[in-house]
Amino acid sequence: MSRINKRIKVKNELARQIMGEILGTFVLLLFGCAAAAQVKTSRETKGQFLSVNLAFSIGVMCAMYLCRAVSGAHINPAVSLSFCVLGDLAWIKLLPYSLAQILGAYLASGLVYLIYHDAIMEFSGGVLTVFGPNETASIFATYPTDVVSVQTSFLDQVVGTAMLMLCILPLNDKRNAPAPEALLPPIVATVVLGISMSMSANCGAAINPARDLGPRLFTFTAGWGKEVFTSYDYFFWIPLVAPMVGGVLGSIIYLVFIQWHLPEPEDEPESGEFKEQTKVMEQNNKKDELYHKISSL
């Protein structure tokens, strides 16, 4: 068993990471898009706008617990890009990570379509459209409202993704006052919930190019037609580009306004428990030296 295991084990780190990102983004989108399908096709009798926000948020939590030990659980090209800029991810991995995330999102959209096929057919009367009261494209990708301009949409996505990075980076920054590492997934999920409750009115708070492009590609291949790309004046490029800008911007704001001014790890006492243990270790080290002296007598 153990030997078979070793043979099967994917030894290439990048291959493992790609597998992790595919599965993680798959889980995120399965929760999120299925909730959107549930609310839409049940005509809000089995959930409301808030349910979709909550389901995406829980999807973030589940995806993070699933694959953060494997790939860091970026599940978002804008996050991967930010980590490249911050030096936490090799630039060479940015493209594979992003493609894996898009693939995971595409596959999840397909499965959501299978699960909700009957309901989508009933709701839409069999016509898969981007517009009108029976549109079902918004179950998958994001679309703006009629009143929002291109500039505002772009700004909206920049700010939303900047908030994501600005609020997530301190959670795991040892120099700041971080959250418990084992509880990062629900706390990051809560940040995402906050963004989707406050910045999704204009254009759906994608704040994640993979979360948007994967499902959009799926709807394109599954019968919604080229309108998924052309509608709203070719809106689709905004959730691809703006989050990349916003993610980096948010990361830089965190660095410039907060992190650079925090005490460096060594020039300040560490927090309680760790300190105790460090002391114990240091004392033990001293004793070790004494032992050696004694034992070398």
Which one of residues 51, 84, 85, 249 is an interface residue with a copy of itself (CB under 8 A)? 51
Of 92, 127, 221, 277, which one interacts with a copy of itself (CB under 8 A)?
Answer: 277
**Under the criterion CB under 8 A, does residue 31 sit at the interface with a copy of itself?**
yes
Distance separating alpha carbons of residues 168 and 237, to the nearest angstrom: 25
Contacting residue, 76, 77, 78, 156, with a copy of itself by CB under 8 A: 156
Find the binder of a copy of itself among 89, 191, 244, 248 (CB under 8 A): 191
Choice from 41, 82, 124, 142 touching a copy of itself (CB under 8 A): 41
Q: Is 250 in the site for a copy of itself (CB under 8 A)?
A: no
Is 276 a binding residue for a copy of itself by CB under 8 A? The answer is yes
Rounded distance between C-alpha atoms, residue 134 and residue 78, angstroms: 32
Answer yes or no whether residue 293 interacts with a copy of itself by CB under 8 A: yes
Find the binder of a copy of itself among 183, 221, 223, 237 (CB under 8 A): 183
Residue 116 is a binding residue for a copy of itself (CB under 8 A): yes
Say if CB 62 and CB 104 are below 8 A apart: no
227: tokens are 């309108």
Half-sphere exposure in the Cβ direction for 126 (13 Å, CA): 0
Site for a copy of itself (CB under 8 A): which residue of 14, 19, 85, 252?
19
Residue holding tokens 């597998």?
A: 19
Q: How far apart are CA 100 and CA 25, in angstroms?
A: 8
- 92 lies in the binding site for a copy of itself (CB under 8 A): no
For residue 227, give Cα distances in angstroms to 1, 107, 127, 137, 215. 51, 21, 13, 10, 14
Nearest distance, CB of residue 275 and a copy of itself, angstroms: 10
Residue whose C-alpha is closest to residue 207's, from 150, 152, 160, 149: 160
Query: Residues 65, 185: contact at Cβ < 8 Å?
Result: yes
Q: CB–CB of 130/230 below 8 Å?
A: no
Q: How big is the site for a copy of itself, counted in residues (CB under 8 A)?
A: 111
| 127 counts as binding a copy of itself under rule CB under 8 A | no
